[in-house]
Amino acid sequence: MSNVKFGSLIATIALAAILPAACKHKTPPPPKVIPSTLETPAPVVAPPPVETTTSPTAVQAPVDFVREEPKVTAEVLPNDIEDLNRAAQTRGWVQDAFFSYDESTLTSEAQAALGATATWLKSHPDISLLIEGHCDERGTEQYNLALGDRRANIAKEYLATLGVDAGRIKTVSYGVERPFDPGHTEQAWAKNRRDHLVLAGAGR
Asked if 127 contacts 202 with a C-beta cutoff of 8 angstroms, the reply is yes
Residue 119 has pLDDT above 60, yes or no: yes
C-alpha–C-alpha distance, residues 66 and 62, integer Å:
9
pLDDT tens-place string over residues 131-151:
999 999 999 999 999 999 999
> 203: pLDDT confidence band, cut at 50, 70 and 90?
very low
The 10s digit of each residue's pLDDT in 32-77 is 555 554 455 555 556 666 555 555 554 454 554 445 544 544 567 8
Least confident of 8-17, 28-37, 101-110: 28-37
| pLDDT at position 72 | 41
CB atoms within 10 A of CB 116: 14
pLDDT band (50, 70, 90) for residue 79 = confident
pTM over 0.75: no
Nearest CA to 189 out of 126, 153, 142, 139 is that of: 139
Q: Quick one: pLDDT at residue 201?
A: 73
Q: What is the pLDDT of residue 204?
A: 46
Q: What percent of the chain has pLDDT over 70?
A: 62
Residue 17 has a pLDDT of: 55
Q: What pLDDT score was predicted for residue 100?
A: 97
* Predicted local distance difference test score (pLDDT) of residue 23: 47
Q: What CATH class is the domain 93-200? A: alpha beta
Of residues 22 and 146, more confidently modeled: 146
pLDDT, one tens digit per residue, over 147-171 is 999 999 999 999 999 999 999 999 9
Task: Report the C-alpha gap between 125 and 167 in whole angstroms.
Answer: 11
Q: What is the pLDDT of residue 40?
A: 52
Q: Give tens-digit pLDDT for 181-197.
A: 999 999 999 999 999 99
Residue 174 φ then ψ, to 5°: -110, -5
Helix (H, G, I), strand (E, B) or coil at 195: strand
